[in-house]
Structure 1
């Protein structure tokens, strides 16, 4: 594991990070992604990331959200973790996917149509274990909130 990753895991587990990060990380990611025409996603230097474009649950308008993801090499898909940095309330993008599961992601500069599926039961439990091994701060996020963090599997659409 690169030395900066352990430090980032420690920092990202704090309540201060949860208060500050949601204000600047997504905005910075969107700006850099736009300026580089999809070639660079700064947060992906620490964790793999995608830009999710999903239709708003109420508005129906496209909403672009930079997100960390857990690539699933065996299936060619991705898992999105609705941690919201351990803050109360599910992130808006999760409601968008529940209402409109057909979405698009930009993965490493390529636009890919996907269908999202909320994971539940034993499947969710197994993927949650993978998520904790992938990024241990998710455990700290879950411990601070009463809601169950939503996990979505993204699979390619034709």
Structure 2
């Protein structure tokens, strides 16, 4: 779907629009896509020492936030996956009044725990199930981010 059709302002980066909306609305994002309060902003360390902020679908469970690297069903992982795999800790911004920044430990889920959380993401949105069809067999990484 073209970005203009998603309501992204001309000349504005899609992710930046989501980040700005998240920060100005207590973590609730309903435009350009209705995420509600189901996102976190992950401060992903890059190899060059800088940080990229990635808005990522999240499920809060058992004192942690779980994020999935679905990349909208792309056959390739989003670049931020490799930053999380290298990091022991990252900061995340979580919904609330005001939005709060939390330092978290990073753990990539594997096996049954990954599969169970993936099932929860598919329950959260049917779009995730659709992504499986376009990902050419890629298994979407899921990370547990816990303070």
Flag whether TM exceeds 0.5 (same fold): yes
> Offset at 1:53?
0.7
The question of whether the paired residues in 1 share the 8 Å contact of 2:28 and 2:35 is answered with: no
The question of whether the paired residues in 2 share the 8 Å contact of 1:54 and 1:102 is answered with: no
The question of whether the paired residues in 2 share the 8 Å contact of 1:71 and 1:78 is answered with: yes
> Offset at 1:33?
4.2
1:141 aligns with 2:128: no
Secondary structure of the 1:42 match is coil
The question of whether the paired residues in 1 share the 8 Å contact of 2:70 and 2:77 is answered with: yes
Aligned to 1:88: 75
> Residue 50 of structure 1 is aligned with which of 36, 40, 50?
40
User: Where in structure 2 are there 5+ consecutive unaligned residues?
Assistant: 7-11
> Residue 90 of structure 2 is aligned with which of 92, 98, 103?
103
Aligned to 1:6: none
Aligned to 1:9: none
> Offset at 1:81?
0.7
Higher share in helix: 1
Aligned to 1:8: none
Aligned to 1:64: 53
Whole-angstrom distance in 2 between the partners of 1:17 and 1:121: 36
Aligned to 1:128: 118
Aligned to 1:152: 143
Output the TM-score relative to the length of structure 1.
0.74
> Offset at 1:116?
1.5
Give the direction of change, closer, same or farther, for the CA distance of 1:46–1:31 in structure 2 (3 Å limit): closer
1:117 aligns with 2:107: yes
Whole-angstrom distance in 2 between the partners of 1:40 and 1:127: 22
Aligned to 1:26: 15
Q: How many residues align?
A: 135
